[in-house]
Structure 1
């Protein structure tokens, strides 16, 4: 099939996006990405441009002084990414509706964190959710969210943009644009355009909120830290990113490097951008010792000044998908990639406790267990010395099945790893210590209570 001319592709995309009332800034930004693909860009980096960070690029959070006053915190708004549906866990609603602790959902704990911070500081710190079209209704209908900023006369959310999915061969938009499957989110790098287009950026600045702390909604370890807030403001930083030391479990996590070209700024490198023949280099923990946990500290004044010059040219991520058995492209960007747009940037190396994501039901089992707890700031942090590695087979992949199989949550406080094979009904309290493997290969569901034991340590267990 012959690819249409650039003029035809551009016209088709503009027509599709304008018919859906997508803002011109977003259209301009998306066309820039499509143009790169049209010219042959794959989203992969030139490995020869990857340099090492400088010693002063990273500071230790634990070495930062904790200010005695709340002046720095008073300048910050808190923003949570909340556009995901949790489809990988079999959910068709906002992922933040999932119950994480007893009867507390992600939403509940985020609200607890912010109300606790407000009570502790006496400040009305804004909490904003960046929603997608898929999650906005679930979010604003949740008790306590719509009016969370009522004292500030500020809404609770703003909307992420949407862009067309493209036929991989022609680069034309798929379908007719009248169905949700014809559209996709442009990655969380869209947050900057969304803040600008929605007017939230200017509103926050006009209220005296000069900075934002941005994190994933499913990372309940990401709470305000007065030391980081003070450091960002006192050092006049445009942009700071939290990183934490890599383990073998984190080898696919995004890393930071110094570009050897252009202005030699700090840049973010995601696994999707790594050439296949350099995967082992990317996963080399001795070179890339830390990875980004997507907790960002951003000067809104610097962001506004940069956006006034035009959309951010964030590194392109080409996500290959399938639609009606045809290959399609989703063109995305990561919000951490904005670090390369600014001069005054820094990495903050933080303890692992500030990274508590839930990407799967295995993660959820750890968060619900006694290996984690809510600390004095309502952050969900690890109690255990190291995070237990949990592997659940496909019987537990979907949240509905997970809930059915785990009416009781095993103790993982002393666990190093837990592997569960086959259908087990966790109908009794048990304690896991060391490395334990539960193997049910009978094809029939087995009850944990049938084992007539209360604990397992460094062993493989069969029915």
Structure 2
């Protein structure tokens, strides 16, 4: 059995021969694997974890909003860069391209809405906020083609690629491309924690600093609410902010000892979770990257590729919080977090629960309950194409509390759903909800229950 030192030496030799990636990527990858093999603090000491105070995680409603001064707002916006993490594919929802090009509302994609938002800001205040997309090798080509559509938009769009690292064969730590897997399957993007070195290596960080930019807002491209927000039962696996040895820190489920996983998922002890909306000082990023100080916790992600067990080592951007002086979290309202991870989320944002104005998705004031309805759709609805074909139109759900759908169910046009509903089509039976149906607090197992 090779020692870790021997594994690392062999890996360095293997990686040096990979012509598909840059020297920066090679050294970044070796650095990551070296840290992983040295087993530096992968787990936190559970007894040292403390719930963060209001000084560390500031309640959103305590942030005073001064009366708007358009000139001051323009001055601040001119120091801002908006960066969207655009490396993910829509594979979990049955799509082949970048997730950001899934249509969300009225034929508009995530990317369309993001561009509209920034265009609106730039037009309203006469400022020049650029949009930056961090792509991965999976999304780069498609995104470049799509960005050409916005050539006439009032927003300057920049793109760069995050690192491309080789997947490791779990058995012997050989890079998968060295075993003949030379296509895309041999590689992976190492999580959004890679945003910091990649922003620097791409030259974009120095470019923005030379233009007088000072801050970057980083968010996932699929979060239309784009801040830290109160945790709900839908978010129990999301990272949370903690106080640890006097600093605010991100705790991810992968770092939690097995004995404490249920406690981690509790919404009593850990009341907030990380939405990956980050406001960061660009000068601080430059200083920390150049000092190689951003040693975020490593998240091992085991996968299987064509029957071979492989390992991906990843990091999360939010975990960098402990390396920035005087960093705080802001506990924002749920309305500022509207991710689309599955078609059940797509149903929410396409419904009358939200309206879209100037690219901004706003909650319908007619909805009295501050929480969103809980929606569970069966596997028949998993792919976007199937989801869309099963609704003649998206139902009205402003008065819905929860919806669970299983089996071969089809929804007619102008359906209204209220209260708590279960729709369960028996095996082999096609269950159609008629046009114009208003259904409230029901369990539907067949046409006779409608």
Q: TM-score, normalised by structure 2?
A: 0.91
Aligned to 2:124: 120
What is the CA–CA distance in structure 2 between the aligned matches of 1:4 and 1:393, rounded to whole Å? 47
DSSP 3-state at the match of 1:413:
coil
Instruction: Extract unaligned runs of 5+ from structure 2.
Output: none
Aligned to 1:196: 200
Partner of residue 243 from structure 2, selected from 258, 283, 305: 258
Aligned to 1:225: none
The answer to whether the 8 A contact 2:231-2:273 is kept is: yes
Change (3 A) 1:435 1:423: same
What is the CA–CA distance in structure 2 between the aligned matches of 1:143 and 1:38, rounded to whole Å? 40
Cα offset, 1:11, TM superposition: 3.9
Equivalent positions of 1:111-260 (< 5 A) are: 111-142=115-146, 147=151, 156-174=158-176, 175-176=179-180, 178-222=182-226, 242-260=227-245
The answer to whether structure 1 residue 106 and structure 2 residue 110 are counterparts is yes
What is the CA–CA distance in structure 2 between the aligned matches of 1:105 and 1:364, rounded to whole Å? 12
Cα offset, 1:62, TM superposition: 2.8
Aligned to 1:96: 100
Partner of residue 277 from structure 2, selected from 291, 295, 299: 295
Aligned to 1:328: 310
Cα offset, 1:18, TM superposition: 5.6
Change (3 A) 1:177 1:191: farther
Instruction: Extract unaligned runs of 5+ from structure 1.
Output: 223-241
State which drifts further: 136-145 or 400-409: 136-145
Change (3 A) 1:94 1:185: same
What is the CA–CA distance in structure 1 between the aligned matches of 2:428 and 2:254, rounded to whole Å? 37
Aligned to 2:409: 424
State which drifts further: 142-151 or 108-117: 142-151
DSSP 3-state at the match of 2:122:
helix
Partner of residue 300 from structure 2, selected from 318, 322, 344: 318
Aligned to 1:87: 91
The answer to whether structure 1 residue 380 and structure 2 residue 381 are counterparts is no
Change (3 A) 1:309 1:63: same
Partner of residue 278 from structure 1, selected from 260, 273, 286: 260
Cα offset, 1:60, TM superposition: 2.6
Change (3 A) 1:311 1:183: farther
What is the CA–CA distance in structure 2 between the aligned matches of 1:215 and 1:371, rounded to whole Å? 22
The number of residue pairs the alignment matches comes to 435
Between the two structures, name the one with larger relative contact order (CA 8 Å, sep ≥ 6).
1
Cα offset, 1:25, TM superposition: 3.7
Q: TM-score, normalised by structure 1?
A: 0.88
Cα offset, 1:173, TM superposition: 1.2
